[in-house]
Structure 1
Amino acid sequence: MTAAIASVSPNELADWLEDLEEIALIDVREQGDYAQGHLLFASSLPLSRLELMVERAIPRKSTRIVLCDQGDGDLVVRAAVVLSQMGYTNLYQLAGGVVAWSDAGYRTFSGIYVPSKAFGEIVEHYYDTPNIDPDALARMVQSGDNVKIFDCRPKLEFRRMSIPGAVNCPGGELLLRLPEILPSRETVVVVNCAGRTRSILGAQTLINGGISNPVMALRNGTMGWQLAGYEVDRARDNVVSMPGKAGQAQAKDLAQAWAEREAVRSISWDTYLRMGQDADRTTYLFDVRDIEEYQAGTPEGAVLAPAGQLVQATDSYVGTLKSRIVVFDDKKVRAIMAATWLAKAGRDEVYILTDAPHEVCHAPATGPIGPAPVISQDRVMSPSKLAAQLDDGSVWLLDLATSPEFLNGHIAGAHFCIRSRMMNALSKLDPEKDIVLTSPDGVLAAWALPEVAAVWPRRVHLLSGGTQGWQLSGMALDKGFQETLEPPTDLWHTPSSEFGGGKAAMAEYIEWETGLIPKLKGEPGLRFRLPY
């Protein structure tokens, strides 16, 4: 099957980024390739996971969508088929891809979440956000000074690695949770993340929100801490609790005063519903609280996007540029934080939802909105049958997990592979064996099964329940990165991760991040509201 897709030149795309009509610019390469060089406002929606991601990122099916790849067009053509089958109707491709964009004189940017990363640097430049270097912080801690360290990353990142003595409080929660627990106005508050962006935005949130304490960002975060020769802790779960009613009221007063100074806009539930009826505009609704609150009850149609993550990785949530964004928080504080920074980052229409009916959320917080494809039962293999066939060597087991997921737990004998490169993976296998596909929950494997079955000469099966089903049946997983058909280039790997490159990569990352501002001049579509 083919899909109708027109071409747009680099100059035409630059004009489209500057006009007033909504546009989604989608890079369909693997994130690891994307991170080597991409258009500034391109969102990473890899072909391998397109069905899992696109309906949350681009909910309006008639959105003007421009697809790009490195330049040969193969991935774009395949992505256009997927999107057409899902009902997207307004598809274009960037002629010549990223190579042509660069050849036309426009910049490409390495890394991920680059607009948000650049915005963090601009925030520090504009506000002169106070910071403290690792050596100075270490001296304060060793001297017993009145200092508290708050790690503003999500819980899982904090658990993976943290500064000794730090307490976890995700960035969107800082202004809500800290006022109640700070011992005195003299307590020095230090905010850290892995690198720079969330530290800067977290510290400046507290300052702009009216915290009277001295507040500083830890310069270069945990990477800077490690580069200075200090150790980090692992597997800690020390999290700042939700404040009581008095603490919530105090935080709300601070946040409301900030919102009034910044003229943050609010809308009612009825106004939001009317916005959603506009066939020519996209209106996102994000629940910016934590996952437990979201699952307990959220407005209908809301997508989970914790406030700190929404601000620091906006392009992973908002695929459509020049769209409307509505944020919800029944305590208001986190919504004010998110709305204020999103507006300053150039999102023209950002609103706080003032009231909304709640309902228990039965939808998953992430992943596809629509149902998984239906696979006939004769194509579904039970864990016990797979175990027997692995023992006798009669099948190939291909795992479509991400590289970190595979590293941290996979079925013994499984081969890591990347869906968009499946033909290359299959060429390395003996065609006299059947294939069984798995992924963490089996959904991605179900999407891939028809593609593999169309080219593989023998039977292709889906593991029932995916790798999670294997575990639930009582069977163990292996760890490590053996039996791989592809290198782990599916993702960009943070420097401190198993695939990340260690201290040399940390130093390179910090140099990259601090060098972003000079590269922004003249960039098509740039709408930051802070001078730089």
Structure 2
Amino acid sequence: MPTTITPRELRRHWIEGREIALIDVREEGPYAESHPLWAVSIPVSELEERLWPLVPRLSVPVVVYDNGEGYVDRALMRIASLGYEDVRILEGGLQAYARAGEVYRDVNSACKAFGELVEAIRHTPSLPASEIKKLLDTEEDLVVLDARRYEEFNTMSIPRGRSCPGGELVYRIRDLVPSPNTQIIVNCAGRTRSIVGTQSLINSGLPNKVMALRNGTIGWTLEGLDLDRGMAERAPKPSEDALQEARRSASKWARHVGVPVINDKQLATFRDDLTRTLYTLDVRDPEEYKNGHPAGFVSAPGGQLVQATDEWVAVRGSRIVLYDDDGVRARMSASWLYQMGWDVFLLDEYHGAHDPSPKTTPPTAELSSSSAITVSELHTLGNATIIDLARSPIYRKGHIPGACFASGPELARDCKAAPGQGAIVLTSADGKIAEGNLADARTGTSQDVFWLAGGTSAWSEAGLPLETECRWLSDPIDVYKRPYEGTDNARENMQAYIDWELQLVAQLANDGVSGFHVARAAA
């Protein structure tokens, strides 16, 4: 019998701060409809590819669940095959958990709930879109900063905006405001990043009046106001004087919150401690990360890390060490993670004198390469049916001509519905997920099944064309359609999203497992 854990036992881990990872092995669409607060989405078909970066210690307790789809037994075997030593099934699945605690909608729910709590506790100032529009039309001494990723800003933005992702705000702001009288507007797509960004600037002691655009570009759109497209202006790096002032204010705030500071020698001690899970994250701009970073550190831009911590960290109760080279961004990011209940540290005085490299290597499942075929071999196979396991947005953008999209978790079912009588060839972006799901595919068909070495990337690198005509073997529920991204969102979906965010504080209060504590202003 597989090892199980009850919902109450799981919640006790969270309340007591003990390490545990809860993995929802369904696809992202069902996950976004309902999940526990600290659950992380990794579909069963992607476990070999995605689990290790999110759960980098093999002895940590890993709990898997679904909602009766029958994925957990497969997940248990696949995770165990990677070498994880303590894998459990959530007793009764999602339905049983919902009787013991709150379940949440959307993605990155814990971070969004925290943002709502920040606004409720700190009374973060905001104005509705109609009033912001009046300010933009009448006030010259005003700066608009978009706290989202640059790609989101470039897609759509409010007038006079410039890109300054949330983790960069305190770092870059001082050269952008000509005087203490300059007003500052911070916006995002919905609520969280504008609330946290606005409050970051206030926490840093900036004398200017700072306000969030209430409900972000969603609120702007719901008011019938026009958004700009294709804007490219970014906030520049700070001058030396501005950097020194930002460093002083960030250090003061981090000390007030209580964020501990370590050096590289202490980091090496953390690396050697095999009883704790450790994440080492570089919160600078990704381009800076590419130009050099401490060994073993992963790029996690500060604003996104606070907005979507579960995209980097799956083990609640783990240690997190943040790095920058300026003394500002890691301190502000860490101050927020600390308030979210994470055991977070700042890496300061890093000189590389002590080896910070990880002491373990990522686990790999034992897979057979004998069923791999190359692009040239695919051409000679004849009458093959190609099944693409890429995420549906990637499939829509371009896939091998004739390829069908299939659900990873339901691959065996979908293989039965695949057209043609010839061999089936699995592909994915780079072929890895295709390789990992070869055995599942074979349980659903008597036809020969192969996987494409190098995946769709190898096809493109061979100079071969892609197509965009879609063929769906299953509904594309693998990706949740976010109502705050893109420009084609239904009005009712945007309003429903805002309504959902506004009730998150009450849900947190009823749940009791968040571990959040919002720091008050310094005396």
Fold conserved (TM > 0.5)? Answer: yes
Cα deviation, residue 430, structure 1: 3.6
Cα deviation, residue 531, structure 1: 8.6
Alignment-derived partner of residue 483 in structure 2 = 495
Aligned residue type for 2:97: W
Cα deviation, residue 424, structure 1: 2.0
Distance of 1:317 and 1:192 partners within structure 2: 24
Alignment-derived partner of residue 479 in structure 1 = 468
1:21 aligns with 2:1: no
Distance of 1:163 and 1:409 partners within structure 2: 31
Alignment-derived partner of residue 40 in structure 1 = 37
Q: Spell out, residue by residue over 1:71-97, the C-alpha distance to the aligned partner (whole angstroms, 9 max, x if none).
A: 35x211111111111110111111110
Q: Sort the Cα spacing of 1:485 and 1:329 in 2 relative to 1 into closer, same or farther, 3 A.
A: same
Runs (4 or more) in structure 1 with deviation over 6 Å come to 371-374
Distance of 1:239 and 1:5 partners within structure 2: 53
Q: Spell out, residue by residue over 1:29-82, the C-alpha distance to the aligned partner (whole angstroms, 9 max, x if none).
A: 11111111111111112212212221111111110122111135x211111111
> Residues 240-319 of structure 1: matches in 2 within 5 Å?
240-319=235-314
Q: Name the stretch that deviates more: 484-493 or 55-64.
A: 484-493
Q: Spell out, residue by residue over 1:244-298, the C-alpha distance to the aligned partner (whole angstroms, 9 max, x if none).
A: 4333223212212222322321001111111222222112111111211212222
- Which of the residues 371, 387, 397 maps onto 1:408? 397
- Unpaired runs of 5+ residues, structure 1, are none
Distance of 2:457 and 2:173 partners within structure 1: 37
Distance of 2:280 and 2:87 partners within structure 1: 24
Aligned residue type for 2:515: R
Cα deviation, residue 319, structure 1: 0.9
Distance of 1:357 and 1:420 partners within structure 2: 45
Q: Sort the Cα spacing of 1:429 and 1:263 in 2 relative to 1 into closer, same or farther, 3 A.
A: closer
> Residues 376-395 of structure 1: matches in 2 within 5 Å?
376=369, 379-382=372-375, 386=378, 394-395=383-384
Corresponding residue pairs, total = 514
Q: Would the aligned equivalents of 2:115 and 2:192 in 1 still touch at CA under 8 Å?
A: yes
1:119 aligns with 2:119: no
Cα deviation, residue 307, structure 1: 0.8
Aligned residue type for 1:77: D
1:207 aligns with 2:202: yes
Distance of 2:200 and 2:484 partners within structure 1: 26
- Which of the residues 195, 198, 210 maps onto 2:193? 198
> Residues 46-195 of structure 1: matches in 2 within 5 Å?
46-71=43-68, 74-102=70-98, 104-195=99-190
TM-score, structure 1 as length reference = 0.91
Alignment-derived partner of residue 347 in structure 2 = 353
**Superposed CA RMSD:** 2.5
Partner SS, residue 419 of structure 1 = coil
1:505 aligns with 2:500: no
Distance of 1:374 and 1:94 partners within structure 2: 28
Q: Would the aligned equivalents of 2:286 and 2:299 in 1 still touch at CA under 8 Å?
A: yes
Distance of 2:261 and 2:100 partners within structure 1: 41
Distance of 1:212 and 1:373 partners within structure 2: 59
Aligned residue type for 2:369: S
Distance of 1:529 and 1:156 partners within structure 2: 32
Q: Would the aligned equivalents of 1:381 and 1:461 in 2 still touch at CA under 8 Å?
A: no
Distance of 2:86 and 2:499 partners within structure 1: 39
Alignment-derived partner of residue 529 in structure 1 = 517
Distance of 2:462 and 2:370 partners within structure 1: 18
Cα deviation, residue 327, structure 1: 0.5
Partner SS, residue 410 of structure 2 = helix
Distance of 1:180 and 1:161 partners within structure 2: 25
Q: Name the stretch that deviates more: 515-524 or 214-223.
A: 515-524
Partner SS, residue 281 of structure 2 = strand
Q: Sort the Cα spacing of 1:247 and 1:476 in 2 relative to 1 into closer, same or farther, 3 A.
A: farther
Aligned residue type for 2:400: I
Alignment-derived partner of residue 239 in structure 1 = 234
Distance of 2:95 and 2:122 partners within structure 1: 36
Aligned residue type for 2:475: P
* Percent identical residues: 37
> Residues 327-476 of structure 1: matches in 2 within 5 Å?
327-347=322-342, 349-357=343-351, 369=362, 376=369, 379-382=372-375, 386=378, 394-430=383-419, 432-453=421-442, 455-476=444-465
Cα deviation, residue 385, structure 1: 5.3
Distance of 2:300 and 2:187 partners within structure 1: 20
Q: Would the aligned equivalents of 1:493 and 1:500 in 2 still touch at CA under 8 Å?
A: no
Q: Would the aligned equivalents of 1:373 and 1:446 in 2 still touch at CA under 8 Å?
A: no
Q: Sort the Cα spacing of 1:277 and 1:426 in 2 relative to 1 into closer, same or farther, 3 A.
A: same
Distance of 1:486 and 1:444 partners within structure 2: 17
- Unpaired runs of 5+ residues, structure 2, are none
Q: Name the stretch that deviates more: 301-310 or 504-513.
A: 301-310
Distance of 2:350 and 2:447 partners within structure 1: 53
Distance of 2:148 and 2:300 partners within structure 1: 13
Partner SS, residue 409 of structure 2 = helix
Q: Would the aligned equivalents of 1:417 and 1:425 in 2 still touch at CA under 8 Å?
A: yes
Cα deviation, residue 375, structure 1: 5.6
TM-score, structure 2 as length reference = 0.92
Aligned residue type for 2:301: P
